Homo-oligomer: A and B are copies of this chain.
Amino acid sequence: MFGVKTLRAVRICRASVLWRPSQTVTRTQSVAAGPRVDIGGIYPPIATPFTQNEDVDYQKLDENLRKYAKIPFRGLVVQGSNGEYPYLTDDERVEVVRRVRLALPTCQLVLAGSGCESTRATVVMTERMARAGADMVLVVTPCFYKGKMDSRALVHHFTQVADSSPVPVVLYSVPANTGLDLPVDAVLRLAQHPNILGLKDSGGDITRIGLIVHKTKAQDFQVLAGSAGFLMAAYSVGCVGGVCALANVLGNELCDLERLCVSGRWDDARALQQRLIEPNAAVTRKFGVPALKQAMEWFGYHGGACRSPLQPLSDVESQQLRLDFSTNGWI
């Protein structure tokens, strides 16, 4: 329908070479000893399938991973918000990362969510995930004491973590879950840290995102959109990729959108982007993780159950979810 399918070549394992946006090519790699990893591209923040007893279903996870390995993703985010990581034990968190690393080709990055509320726990978890094979860690803003999580506290937190981390760090701001936006001035400070590579911004404030790209140009700082809903707009203002819940379901299509944006085919990109907004909203802010898992089942993946207190969709919600895919031509 969009004529983009033919563009999708066998990209796996050549991603970082072939399809980078032009602006990243000329970056000066000044901050660290060697060049920074190019993290540009699409990442599904993978769901964690559970059995009916709410145990982690590692077998179903493996089956999902085998499928994801064939999609030209830049990598996978393990234990972003959609991974129900706050519902996993520490050991489960590490084990899931280990499994993912084993299942993926080495050219696909494993970006592991190692954030905890305390700095010391985050340092420990970061170290464990690096040992389990994470290529990078994604560190969410601590948020319980949100009234005290000002720039001073957050800069201190992320600096401590980055100082001790064996692998590069990506900052993670997700106000819908945390009630807290990582302040721009804190981002600008942290962008200067040699072990902090970039930011995943799930807030969707495109003005803010554009400003961050602008003010961090000298630091080789890479910004990823945190949702498929504003992926094209994010590319337009200088983001290098996206971590998109919807990529668990429509992974190839999001990689198509990436390529259209990167290659400057904006009219085609717009047409594709627009068809993705409603399905994306449905599996994120409208119905959440239970909807993402339900949609995964429809599209040939294993969603499985959620852990309580997350509840399965009601029948009405499920019908509405289906409608959000079907009216946009995906089912």
Interface, chain A (partner B; CB < 8 A): 22-23, 54, 81, 86-87, 89, 117-121, 142, 144-149, 152-154, 156-157, 160, 176-177, 179, 204-207, 210-211, 213-214, 227, 229-230, 232-233, 236-238, 264, 266-267, 270, 273-275, 277-278, 281, 285, 287-290, 307-311
Bound CA–CA A274/B237 (angstroms): 8
In the bound complex, residues from chain B placing their C-beta under 8 Å from that of A87 are 117-118, 120-121
A266 lies within 8 A of B266 (CB): yes
Q: Is B205 a contact partner of A118 (Cβ separation < 8 A)?
A: no
Question: B266, A236: Cβ atoms under 8 Å?
Answer: yes
Smallest CB–CB gap between A114 and chain B, Å?
15
Least CB distance, A21 to chain B, in whole angstroms? 10
**Nearest CB in chain B: distance from A268 CB, A:** 12
In the complex, chain B residues whose CB is within 8 Å of the CB of A281: 207, 211
Q: From A179, which residue of chain B is reached at the shortest CB distance?
A: B179
Contact of A205 with B204 at beta-carbon distance under 8 Å, contacts A86-B117, A142-B309 already known:
yes
B120 lies within 8 A of A54 (CB): yes
CA distance A119 to B50 in the complex (A): 14
A308 pairs with B233, CB closer than 8 A? no
How many identical chains are in the complex? 4
Which residues from B are CB-within-8-Å of A210? 229-230, 232-233, 273-274, 277
On chain B, the residues within 8 Å of A274 by CB distance are 210-211, 213-214, 237-238
**A206 contact from B121, B156, B230, Cβ within 8 A:** B230
CB neighbours of A204 from chain B (8 A): 205-207
User: How far is the CB of A172 from the nearest CB of chain B, in Å?
Assistant: 13
Determine whether the beta carbon of B177 is less than 8 Å from that of A146. Answer: yes
Nearest neighbor of A287 in chain B, beta-carbon distance:
B148
- Say which residue of B157, B277, B278, B288 sits within 8 Å of A308 (CB atoms): B157
A207 — which chain B residues lie within 8 A by C-beta?
A: 204, 227, 229-230, 233, 277, 281
Contact of A233 among B156, B206, B288, B307 (CB under 8 A): B206
User: Quick check: B118 and A288 within 8 Å, CB to CB?
Assistant: no
Chain B residue numbers with a CB within 8 Å of A277 are 207, 210-211, 214
Cβ contacts under 8 Å, A22 to chain B: 267
Q: How far is the CA of A147 from the CA of B310 in the complex (A)?
A: 10
CB neighbours of A145 from chain B (8 A): 81, 177, 288-289, 310
Docked-complex contact A270 and B237, CB < 8 angstroms: yes
Does B238 lie within 8 Å of A144, measured CB to CB? Answer: no
Across the interface, name the chain B residue whose C-beta is closest to A311.
B153
The distance in angstroms between the C-alpha atoms of A160 and B308, with both chains bound, is 10
> Given known contacts A206-B206, A237-B233, A277-B207, is B149 in contact with A119 (CB within 8 Å)?
no
Alpha-carbon distance between A290 and B145 when the two chains are bound, in angstroms: 11
A86–B176 touching, CB < 8 Å: no
Asked if A266 and B264 make an inter-chain contact with CB atoms under 8 angstroms apart, the answer reads yes
